[in-house]
A and B are shown apart, each in its own frame.
Chain A
Amino acid sequence: MRNLALVLASASVISFGTALAAPQAEPAAATADDGIPDVYFVPMKGQMGTDVHPSIYKDVIDDIRKTKPDLVVFVLNCADINTIFYLQDDDPAEASQFMLGEYREIVQMLHEEIRDIPQVMWVEDSVGFGSLMALAWTDMYMTSEARLAGLGKVLMPVMQWRDPDVRAKMLAAWTGIGKGFIEQGGYPLDIGEAMMRPEKRLSCSFEGRDVTWHLDTTGTWIIDDDEKRTSQFTAQLAEDTGICDGIADTKDDLMFLLGYREYREVPGCEATVERYIDDWRRTLDLCTTWVQEYQQYLGWAQGDDAIKYLGQAKERLERILGAMIKYPAVEIRFRSATGADKNAIKIQIEQLQEQIRAARKQQQGGGRGGVGGGGGLSGGGGRRR
């Protein structure tokens, strides 16, 4: 498809060149009025709840407003499990987080704040809460290997309840919230119900081009006849049943399906998200190092070097706290791994301060004790008087 884009090469080069020649100008290249649509691709990839977090999409929206593209394409690739089942090598720490409120915030933010720009969801793969995002956009395309699955996770908090009435309440509440995403995308709620609740079966019937969904097996096409697992869709199945609008394996394929032989990708449009993901993950790695150093310094904090090493241990915790404040994703992952959140770190820092203070007092008190004959604490008391 890139070859096809050569047709527009001259136009693109000219308009980009103009932008480069005027560095202070708005990124007008992206909005050049040359008839070629400017497309802004927004990655939604990695772990739902950390890589996909509301904090970064605010920046994305700002950038979209600046560049004023003709079309925004969200590229979703969030799969809790890979496709090589027998290896069972999926990292549980990378599984999508139960943060439906935050995901809903992202959906509403993107739908409302750039509502004047048409938006398309393009699913590369989605297993887990990412599927809620996929179904929150009306115009949805998939790659040929993409999956749309894993929404049984929505029921995670339900199982802790014993009482059947309370369990029914919790189930209805969480699936209701989940179906809110599907409602936003304009898909039949029965699909969401079957994707979230294992006991629901799913089939569909066709009348002309209309698809009718059934939460049982009375339809002519049985999608899910297993009451022990939730419904899921391959790209082909999603397309055949009209859930997705088409299958496209490359950006060019996608744009062609949308009806454009020519398009121009807004330069650097993926950078905001890519940079954010790189940055917070690198910071998380650093936090692991800082924790190890913290533990090492604590171990060394004895005798004459106690104050020095306690100070260094405290400084490492301050770095971790700073990282958590800067990146909520770091706090989420750090908490999952260690159980410690921002407040726990703050308290540890304050406790170290007290220890440092005590150690100083001990050193000072010992010295004075020799001179004034008083011992540590009472020496302090004496000075006060």
Chain B
Amino acid sequence: MIRMNSRMLAVLRALVGPMLALAVLALAPAAHAGSLEVLLRDGSTWRGELNDTVEARFVESGVELTIVGRLVKAERLYVQIDGEIGGNKVNKTIFHADLRSLRSTDGSAPTGTATAPGGTSSKPASGTAGPGAGTAAPGGDVGSGPPQKGKDGYLVSPKKGVFVLPLEGTVGIGLRHEEIEAIAAEADKYGPGQIIVLIVDSPGGLVIEGDKIHDSFKKLKDRHRFVAWIKEAISGAAFTALHCDEIYFQSVGTLGAITMFSGQDAIKGRELDAWLDKCSQVAEMGGRNPIPVRAMIHAPLLASYDKDPVTGKVTWYDTMQGATVLSNEKDNLVFNASTALDCHFSDGTADTTEELAKLLQLPEWYEISDYGRKLHADWQRTVKQCKEEVPLIAQRLQFKGSGSGDTEEVLGTRINLLKQLIQWWQRAPNVMRYELGVPEKDALERQIANLQRQLAMARRARQNAGN
């Protein structure tokens, strides 16, 4: 790129202005013929139609790149191509200033590059069990109304689709095994082999919850196909995602750093060995090599890999001998979307549900039930309310009712506040225990009993004073 200042601009405008003006006009869809003409910078013209398979060369960040794919848009300012760059599926907007060449290919685009209807996906088929597979009554018309039961007694979804459960917040607080089990139970109604998409956005959390999540997945994984869609999966959240059959990243996604620590210090010795073993086992449960997972736990552990240029097969090393080093002896491993994709740790990158549907080899994105999203919203609301309300209640215990100057009212108010805390213990015990550090329920009950005794004494004293 050339640095532009105003004087240079004036010169350049004079030189290239007419050409650019032509390009602007030419990129507009031809109004009459129903076909498109794009006049390129070198003076040549590309003619074709939307959905044609094209090869475009363009400049990005000073580098010339090539994309092969389906032309989905040709506007005044840009063309948009749905295709593949460097093995990654993209929907690329190319400004005409960056466009160097555009040509039609013969329609049979290079393998795996086109996402035209019926085209192939880069995602390998992995034991796909479509929703409702084998459960619908043959030829049964389920329509768009409430789901009906098939001959086998399972509910039948009107379309192929997924169950979605967002997993958000601290592991053990916002992200819990209870919701994972609940969404699986909902999916059970539609028979085995459902696709359950867990949208993970969590910085990690409680080890104790990790154990429960592990136990839940051991029970559930042979019933359904679990898919993790990663926005943020750090620490315990990465541990959760590793259980899934497939992992997809969002572009901003990140996964790793599973080091277990208590207080200020990381676990060491036998405890560390046990954790390494457990995570390795989880990695294998999800069909992944444990080497990168171990490098996420203890910084000195190494991870590198070689990738066969022809087959794409990845060979892992727990040394630095691989051509691509993911983690040296100083660093803990955290994956981003591209690093995870390159070594096949992730199965693809998707930023929208439609993109994810393609990667899951679904004809479209269809959520069979909103149960998981409601479950998530309800629980997140509860957690938020609890975090806001309980500290207020705790502070109110110090002063609420004191303005009355009435001992009985003060005691009654405190009893009510403690009862509110007990109600929160019933609704959100983990938030109370781990996040807020509120005294246990039985301690609060003892306190209530004590206050009730004081209240009774105060009443008696008042009655006696009245007599």
Where the two chains meet, the residues of A that have a C-beta atom closer than 8 Å to any C-beta of B are: 1, 4, 35, 37, 70-71, 101, 104, 107-108, 111-112, 115, 118, 136, 138-140, 144, 161-166, 168-173, 175-177, 179-181, 183-184, 186-187, 189, 209-211, 235-236, 239, 241-250, 252-253, 256-262, 343, 346-347, 350-351, 353-358, 361-362, 365, 376-378, 380-382, 385
- Given A168-B330, A260-B24, A209 contacting B251 (CB threshold 8 A): no
- Given A173-B256, A183-B337, A183-B338, A259 contacting B97 (CB threshold 8 A): yes
Q: Evaluate contact between A172 and B336: CB separation under 8 angstroms.
A: no
Q: Tell me the minimal C-beta distance from B402 to chain A in angstroms.
A: 5
10 A–B contacts from the bound complex (CB under 8 Å):
A163-B261, A165-B298, A166-B261, A168-B259, A169-B332, A180-B336, A244-B61, A256-B4, A351-B399, A380-B406
A residues near B91, Cβ cutoff 8 Å: 115
Q: Evaluate contact between B256 and A209: CB separation under 8 angstroms.
A: no
Q: Evaluate contact between A257 and B4: CB separation under 8 angstroms.
A: yes
A residues near B129, Cβ cutoff 8 Å: none
Is residue B254 within 8 Å, beta carbon to beta carbon, of the partner chain? yes
Is residue B23 within 8 Å, beta carbon to beta carbon, of the partner chain? yes
A residues near B399, Cβ cutoff 8 Å: 350-351, 354
Partner of A246, one of B3, B256, B396: B3
B residues near A177, Cβ cutoff 8 Å: 232, 234, 254
For B251, B261, B299, the residue with the greatest tally of chain A CB atoms inside 10 Å of its CB is: B251
B residues near A165, Cβ cutoff 8 Å: 259, 261, 266, 298-299, 332
- Given A70-B77, A181-B252, A242 contacting B63 (CB threshold 8 A): yes
- Given A239-B1, A358-B403, A171 contacting B332 (CB threshold 8 A): yes
In the bound assembly, the distance between CA atoms of A242 and B23 in angstroms comes to: 24
Q: Evaluate contact between B62 and A256: CB separation under 8 angstroms.
A: no
Q: Evaluate contact between A71 and B77: CB separation under 8 angstroms.
A: yes
Q: Evaluate contact between B21 and A180: CB separation under 8 angstroms.
A: no
A residues near B419, Cβ cutoff 8 Å: none
In the bound assembly, the distance between CA atoms of A136 and B405 in angstroms comes to: 59
In the bound assembly, the distance between CA atoms of A382 and B17 in angstroms comes to: 94
Q: Evaluate contact between B13 and A115: CB separation under 8 angstroms.
A: no
A residues near B62, Cβ cutoff 8 Å: 209, 211, 239, 241-242, 245
Q: Evaluate contact between A176 and B20: CB separation under 8 angstroms.
A: no
Partner of A118, one of B59, B78, B403: B78
Q: Tell me the minimal C-beta distance from A241 to chain B in angstroms.
A: 7
Stretch at the interface among B157-165, B370-378, B387-395: B387-395
Is residue B311 within 8 Å, beta carbon to beta carbon, of the partner chain? no
In the bound assembly, the distance between CA atoms of A180 and B466 in angstroms comes to: 73
Is residue B186 within 8 Å, beta carbon to beta carbon, of the partner chain? no
B residues near A356, Cβ cutoff 8 Å: 403
- Given A37-B77, A70-B76, A176-B234, A209 contacting B265 (CB threshold 8 A): no
For A169, A259, A356, the residue with the greatest tally of chain B CB atoms inside 10 Å of its CB is: A169
In the bound assembly, the distance between CA atoms of A260 and B261 in angstroms comes to: 56
In the bound assembly, the distance between CA atoms of A256 and B2 in angstroms comes to: 12
Q: Which residue of B lies closest to A377 (CB)?
A: B405
Q: Evaluate contact between A112 and B351: CB separation under 8 angstroms.
A: yes
Q: Tell me the minimal C-beta distance from A211 to chain B in angstroms.
A: 6
B113-130 CB contacts (< 8 Å) to partner A: none
Q: Evaluate contact between B21 and A346: CB separation under 8 angstroms.
A: no
Q: Tell me the minimal C-beta distance from B86 to chain A in angstroms.
A: 10
Q: Evaluate contact between A118 and B93: CB separation under 8 angstroms.
A: yes
A residues near B235, Cβ cutoff 8 Å: 169, 173
- Given A70-B76, A173-B334, A350-B400, A361 contacting B405 (CB threshold 8 A): yes
In the bound assembly, the distance between CA atoms of A171 and B234 in angstroms comes to: 12
Q: Evaluate contact between A186 and B60: CB separation under 8 angstroms.
A: yes
Partner of A168, one of B2, B23, B331, B388: B331
In the bound assembly, the distance between CA atoms of A72 and B402 in angstroms comes to: 58
Partner of B96, one of A180, A242, A259: A259
Count of inter-chain pairs, beta carbons less than 8 A: 238
Q: Evaluate contact between B405 and A354: CB separation under 8 angstroms.
A: no
Is residue B166 within 8 Å, beta carbon to beta carbon, of the partner chain? no
- Given A172-B332, A177-B232, A381-B462, A211 contacting B259 (CB threshold 8 A): no
In the bound assembly, the distance between CA atoms of A189 and B261 in angstroms comes to: 28
A residues near B59, Cβ cutoff 8 Å: 209
B residues near A351, Cβ cutoff 8 Å: 399
A residues near B395, Cβ cutoff 8 Å: 347
Q: Evaluate contact between A361 and B4: CB separation under 8 angstroms.
A: no
Q: Which residue of B lies closest to A242 (CB)?
A: B62
Q: Evaluate contact between A161 and B264: CB separation under 8 angstroms.
A: yes
Q: Tell me the minimal C-beta distance from A69 to chain B in angstroms.
A: 10
- Given A169-B257, A187-B61, A243-B61, A385 contacting B466 (CB threshold 8 A): yes
Is residue B284 within 8 Å, beta carbon to beta carbon, of the partner chain? no
- Given A169-B332, A361-B403, A343 contacting B20 (CB threshold 8 A): no
B residues near A365, Cβ cutoff 8 Å: 405
- Given A108-B252, A144-B3, A239-B3, A256 contacting B61 (CB threshold 8 A): no
Q: Evaluate contact between A259 and B95: CB separation under 8 angstroms.
A: yes
In the bound assembly, the distance between CA atoms of A181 and B231 in angstroms comes to: 11
B residues near A138, Cβ cutoff 8 Å: 60-61
Given contact pairs A162-B265, A172-B257, A259-B97, a sample of 15 additional A-B residue pairs in the complex whose CB atoms are under 8 Å apart? A70-B75, A70-B77, A104-B231, A144-B5, A165-B298, A176-B336, A183-B251, A186-B60, A245-B62, A259-B23, A343-B392, A347-B396, A353-B403, A356-B403, A358-B404
B residues near A362, Cβ cutoff 8 Å: 405
Q: Evaluate contact between B76 and A183: CB separation under 8 angstroms.
A: no
- Given A35-B76, A385-B466, A172 contacting B95 (CB threshold 8 A): no
A residues near B422, Cβ cutoff 8 Å: none
Q: Evaluate contact between B405 and A380: CB separation under 8 angstroms.
A: yes
A residues near B339, Cβ cutoff 8 Å: 189
Q: Evaluate contact between B76 and A176: CB separation under 8 angstroms.
A: no
A residues near B252, Cβ cutoff 8 Å: 104, 107-108, 136, 180-181, 183-184
A residues near B24, Cβ cutoff 8 Å: 35, 37, 259-262
